[in-house]
Amino acid sequence: MRYELKSYDDFCFTLEVIRFGAGLTGLAPTIKIKRFTANEYWDGSIWDSSVTTFNMSEVDSVNLPGLYVYDFSIGVPTAIDTSVDNRYIVNIEESTQPISEYILVTLNRVTDVVDANIVDWNSTSATLSKNTDSNLPEVTVAHNTDYVKYDIANGILNSDIWNPIVDPTTLATSPSDRDTLARAVTSTYLSSVYKSKYDSSKTEDTYTCTYTSSDKFYSSSLPSILEMEKLVKQDAILFKGWSGSGVPTMADWESFKMKIVGFGIDTNGKYLTLEDSTGSTYSYTSGSDSIIIKIQNTASPEEIAEAVWEEPVDSHSTPGTFGLLNRVIAGLVHLNHRIKDTEYDQKGRLTGCRVVVYPTASDAEADTNPLSTIIINSTYNSGNNMVSYLATGE
């Protein structure tokens, strides 16, 4: 099937028949046309439920062999009535070859040029001028009224990113397709806000403080105790001075990145305990503070540095890691190590030994659970001076 876009008065169709590079003459192809949305066919004067077949004419068997045409725009006895539909199906057949071809036709309804000389459009008192090439209106900034700006802004900013409009005619919507801006916005939103992780029906992301406390964040809209357990270690943005509804006044509120470290329930209601990157807690005021819980945990530079420098090294024992290397270095600076298997030459010079590093003082005293063993070999010259010193891991 082929597709054609035509104007309302251009209903001419052609068929070209070629075999081995040469057009075939003397054929008798036929054509019929049907309205797309109704079971009716054109009979030459009206649309009717009966099928009418028309004979196509050969254009020029000598100069244009193999080319056949039928023009519904002229028609017999009248030109086709295209006022009833925008789309049509055309069928062309030639039984001796055989040939059967279908054409989907969509009409462009432009029937004349546009006269854009319209004055005072939507009470703007601005005259629309006509483009000399297209005859279409040239709209200037003066025509962008507050209503126009509102419609544009509202259509963009208040559009449904979950189900954008996919059919401008029926305003039908569909879930956001992949690789679309709406899908990107949706993904960004889901990755930044905790929305609905424990309850798919929940639509509120912001939790407002409902009881004043010096160290606990109380909110009546928090989930159940069982579900709050899932929030521990999640990031939360604390808004001091914003109740969680309406547009916050920039001068009246500030935000802090917090970590949820605990939860509970008492006579004052359900609560969360929060700490910032330094481990500090805050006080909260009922009706004046709020939090948004995030689904992604993002560590600040301060938190990363603190986690690295405050990480205990005594739990690291994997060969080749920095954790184990730090433990060995601690042993080599005379912390939890012992020298074993010493060897001396005839002059009493140390020529070899093993230096064993242990994880704890008790292991060093008991000679158990060694972390690393270093083999040391040395040589001397006739003047009792050391010539070489080699330390290798066993």
- Out of 133-137, 181-185, 338-342, the most confident range is 338-342
**What is the chain's percent helix, strand, coil content, to nearest 5?**
15, 35, 50
pLDDT: is 132 or 255 the higher one?
A: 255
pLDDT over 90 (residue 303): no
Among 61, 70, 69, smallest CA distance to 22 is for: 61
Domains of the chain: 2-108 (2.60.40.10), 121-157 (no CATH), 206-301 (no CATH), 322-393 (no CATH)
**Per-residue confidence at 91, pLDDT binned at 50, 70, 90?**
very high
- The stretch 255-276 carries a mean pLDDT of 93
pLDDT over 50 (residue 330): yes
What is the tens place of the pLDDT at every residue in 42-66?
999 999 999 999 999 999 999 999 9
Give the pLDDT of residue 285.
95
Q: Which two tokens stand for residue 263?
A: 């939860």
Please report, for residues 338, 354, 383, the alpha-carbon distance to residue 343 in angstroms, rounded to integers and kept in the order given: 15, 10, 19
pLDDT over 80 (residue 39): yes
Opening angle at CA 238, ends 254 and 299, nearest 5 = 105
End-to-end CA distance of the chain: 78
What is the tens place of the pLDDT at every residue in 138-159?
666 666 677 778 888 777 777 7
- Contacts of 282 by beta carbon, 8 Å cutoff, 6+ apart: 215, 238, 240, 256, 258, 274, 276
Q: Which two tokens stand for residue 119?
A: 């004055």
What is the tens place of the pLDDT at every residue in 189-242?
554 554 434 343 444 467 899 999 999 999 998 988 988 888 888 888 888 888
Give the pLDDT of residue 203.
41
pLDDT over 50 (residue 249): yes
